[in-house]
Structure 1
Amino acid sequence: MRFWVGGYTADGGGSAEGIGVLHAGAPDSALAGGDLAFTGVAARTDSPSWVAAHPTLDVLYVAQEAAGTVQAFTRTGEETFAPLGGAVDAGDSVCHVAVAPSGDAVIASCYGDGRVVRFALDARGALGAPRIADGAEDPYSDAARQARAADVASLADLSSLADLSSLAGMVGAAAIGNLPLFGADAQAAAGAQASEAATEIATEEPTRVSRSHQSCFLPGGVIATTDLGFDLVRFWTVRGGDLHETQRVTLPPGCGPRHTVWHPSGHLYVVTELSLEVFVLAPEPGSRPGEGWRVISASPLADEASPGSDFAAEIALTRDAEYALVGIRGSNTIASLRVRDGGAAVVPVALADSGVDWPRHHVVERDTVLVAGQLSNEVAALSLDERTGAVGRVRRRVEVPSPTCLVAAP
């Protein structure tokens, strides 16, 4: 099989030179268990950290992460591509692109500023203008805490002694309640202590930032996106070329939803980067497209996984969708989870060495798992027991510069 390889170039701290080409066995084979060979660069471009293919055209779309742009490339030879139009602005640290099954649009996710962006595609597959969706709101923000901080901060701007008389009823007034109510020194001290109190209040909890990370096309024209920073899964439909949010599902604080995969049973599996879990979401029976979604179960990836030192990456299904495989960076392992209850639950069954350092992405091709080791600069091919879901030993490996994404060529 032939694969297109995304990676980090020098602008992203990596050693790749653009979109790479990987052979796993014969390039025209339907199997990926043969010898691995990295054959060079299909298109030179800056940090194509994520690559997605058009469903019917010989066109690739890349998230140029460091530049914050999305670029389309059209195939010019067996293993060569050229730009199709110019790069189009998406947002800060765009880290993922997904192509609609209909081939009429691309959705980009931006880690740096939380943007979700839709690009319409023309008949050639060229990108249209970016249509930025409404931003997310943190479901765990403490509006009262922020208001309290603002109230106390306003004390620093007191310009008259009369202002001090209003402190008694204010939250935080006790911090300056013993100050004498006269003299310029009292005003200065009040201002300093008020500023300090405001800072303390405002920093009671770490600042949370929206971090869009992935999009997934679901049946019925629904799109699911993850927000790793705000612990959200958002659901969208398209109206007049724009993304319209229909629902959002809030996951536990600090879990960090990263990637999703659609299970043929009708469930959405969400892997959380920080808490190392898989949440199973499903819509209420009879609900309209993009509405009625809820969490119905959750499972840890493995007992051995350690939040804080391990970070989940990709989630992928086996060919029969009986198992989900999740990469774990840090311990550099692959967790296997068995699908239960008609897709409504998953349970961990095995944990295996990924064979690489920092398994950023992996793909499952029958009885072979190909793993991109971002920090070890290699791709490894591991065996997979399709009956048990257990990932076995490394069969083969090949040097590949800073790989972050693998996409099977048609």
Structure 2
Amino acid sequence: MNANKPLNVIAIDDNGLILTQLRLLLSQSYDIHFSGFNNGPDALIHIKDNAADLIFLDLNMPQMDGIEVLRHLSDLNISASIVLLSGEDNTIIKMAKNLAHLRNLNVITGIDKPVTASQIKQLMESLFSLSHRQASSLQPHSFHVDELQHAIKDKQMCLYLQPKVSLSTEEFVGAEFLIRWNHPDFGTLSPYYFIDLIEHSDLVHDFSIFVVNEAFEFIEQHFELLQDLAFNINLSVKNLEDLQLPERLADLANSYNVPPSMIVFEVTESLLIENLTQSLDVLLRLRLKGFSLAIDDFGTGYSSIKQLSQIPFCELKLDRCFIHDCAIDSDKQAIIEATVALAQKLNLKVVAEGIEQQQDLAFLNNYKIDYGQGYLFALPLEKVQFLKTLEQQSDYDQRKSRGRLRG
């Protein structure tokens, strides 16, 4: 989207007055090219041949409802920003947004009818702000497997650490190792730009071992400072196809003098259940080697309670999508409450990911959640910065302890 060019807006609503209202509200303040349709099929024919920047979509229409239109938009791989319109209960908009996100559609908000000028103003201001931020940032680049092989061999890949804190004390209890690519042309890249290519190539096993090597080496070098912490390392589900993985990881831990009890291997829930039998074989033997296991992004997949109880996890990580705004979202609160109760019944520690707001932290503390991660506590840190931050906490803890002794 370019704020210097007319915005291609498409509105789909069976009420002609709504279409006219949208056109007038938008055109009086913004440079737009507006196309309105009173039914889904006609709109989809137009969208197929004409690029759209912004789509307004009514959910309740007689010929083809908005949910059906979303399905067809997904089939067309539409990247336009989508605004849902509805006179229905807010729950309907919310559920439709969730469905759209599952279909990889960019639904940015929902608006209750009748549409007002202030709603449009707020929408457009946020839309142009987002567009500006996206335009000024690096866009995804298509890399080749050979480039990634070179990056691993040349140690362009480096580890950052996302601190994990005790929610009761807000003190560091460990960290999650995260990978970054120090690209010679593009600067520091997050996994967003390369992890899918690794996951779908033969590199996945070598890459995971590289990460474990780097993590274990870091722990060994700073063992005196780090020995009381636990460190999470992500494994690909494809790694669980390697029946020798438990022995390989145990041998690595031994070679770096890293106690397996310091390590928590994470596996993403949404991918785990595809080959449960073989995964369970490897996961059980990792536990026998002394490593701990965490189920990552819990709530985004389809694990049953039975499956969760069959796998020897020690830790359950609540996905950030349930944490953001949980203080004001009753649906998220219900999910968190039920998940924490389940985890406690199964004797699992609970980690809340993506904590960014004080009000969300206050809500989470009502449920005796064990640990948290998120920008509210710390950004992902380079290894040197993590050590400095940890030393500062250690100095503070020692001063506090001496103060208690003197008291």
Note whether the superposition's TM-score is higher than 0.5: no
TM-score, with structure 1 as normaliser? 0.24
Higher relative contact order (CA 8 A, sep 6+): 1
Comparing both structures, which one devotes a greater share of its residues to helix?
Answer: 2
Comparing both structures, which one devotes a greater share of its residues to strand?
Answer: 1
TM-score, with structure 2 as normaliser? 0.24
